[in-house]
Amino acid sequence: MTTTYREAMRAALRDALVRDDRVFLMGEDVGRYGGCFAVSLGLLDEFGPERVRDTPLSESGFVGAGIGAALGGMRPIVEVMTVNFSMLALDQIVNNAATLLHMSGGQFNVPVVIRMTTGAGRQLAAQHSHSLEAWYAHVPGIRVVAPATLDDARGMLWTAVCDPDPVIVFEHGSLYNTSGELADDAGPTDLDRAAIRRPGTDLTLIAYGGTLGKALDAAEALTADGIDAEVVDLRTLRPLDTATFVESVTRTHRAVVVDEGWRTGSLSAEISAQITENAFYDLDAPVARVCSVEVPMPYARHLEEAALPQVPDIVAAAKELGG
C-alpha cells in the first residue's frame, strides 16, 4: 500500500498499543491535538486518555515520569516534540535512564522509548533545527536509532519497545511527508544492523535519517560520471554497526560520510575514525565528510539550504576522492 512516513509511524504506535497493555504514549499535544507533526492523530479516540496522555510543558517532568513508569513495569513511549526540547530533560535521560541498570548492579532495567523529531530544512530557525544525535550516541546505556525509510518507520518502534533498556528514536522532520509503498504485513525490523540501500563498487556513501535520501540522489547523479556508489544507511547510531560500513569501504576503497550534524565532534568524525582504525590500508583516499556549516541554523530558506548538506556537495566530495 502507498503511505507516508508519518502514517507508518502512526501505524507503529497503534500496533504497539494493541500488542501490549503496558504500552502508553505520553507527551506534549500527543492526544487531543494529535501530535505536533500529526503522528498520533486519532489515537486518543481509539485508546483513550489513560494510554494516550497529554502532558504539561515540562520535558524534565514527563520524561522523568516515563522513566519511573518503565521502572514500575510499564512500557512507555515518550514523545519529545523536537530534539532541542530534549535538552530540558538531559538529566533524566543521561543521568538516570542511561545509568540506572549499571548503578543498580543490574537490578533495574529502564525499558522506555523516547521519540523526538530532529533536523532542519523546514525554516524553523536556530532553536528548532538541531541535529544532536551525536550527543546521545556518545552515552553508554542507551540505544539510538534513526529510521530513514518507511519500513524502518513502521518496524523499528516495536523492536524498541521490546528492548529492556532505553531507546531514543530520532525522526527527521523532513521525512514525515515522504511517501512510498509499504507492505501490508510490514512488521518489526532489526535494530542491530546497518543496511546497504544501494550496492556499488567505486565508493561508499554513509548516511542516516534525513541524509539518506540525499545520499541516494547523489549516488544516482554520480552514475553520469561513471561512478558506481554504494549507499549505507546506518539505521542505529549507538551501537554503530561498524562491521557493515567497514566491509563496504574495504571493497570500494573510498568513503564519504554525510551527516547533518556539525562537523566538529560529530558522528561523521566517529565513523571516519572507525574506518581509519579498521580499514586504513584499504583506503585509496582520505575519508571525506559532508556536514552542516558550523553556524546556528538560519531561518531564511536560501541560507538554510546553504548551511545544510546538499546533493551537489555530496557529489563534489565524491569526485574529489578520485579514481
Active site residue 59: yes
Active site residue 128: yes
What single-letter DSSP state applies at residue 261? Answer: E
> 155 with 200: CB under 8 angstroms?
no
Catalytic residue of the set 59, 171, 260, 304:
59
- Grid cell locating 6: 508519518
Q: How far apart are CA 84 and CA 290, in angstroms?
A: 22
Helix-then-strand count for the chain, H and E: 12, 14
Residue showing cell 544516482? 220
DSSP E strands in 99-239: the ranges are 113-118, 143-145, 167-172, 179-181, 195-198, 203-207, 229-233, 236-238
Q: How far apart are CA 223 and CA 230, in angstroms?
A: 11
> 263 with 308: CB under 8 angstroms?
no
> 83 with 114: CB under 8 angstroms?
no
Residue showing cell 574506518? 275
Q: How far apart are CA 198 and CA 272, in angstroms?
A: 20
Catalytic residue of the set 7, 28, 128, 230:
128
Q: How far apart are CA 312 and CA 301, in angstroms?
A: 17
Q: How far apart are CA 280 and CA 275, in angstroms?
A: 7
Closest CA to 234 of 202, 275, 181, 295: 275
Helix, strand, coil percentages in the chain from 3-state DSSP, rounded to 5: 40, 20, 40
**Residues with active-site annotation:** 59, 128
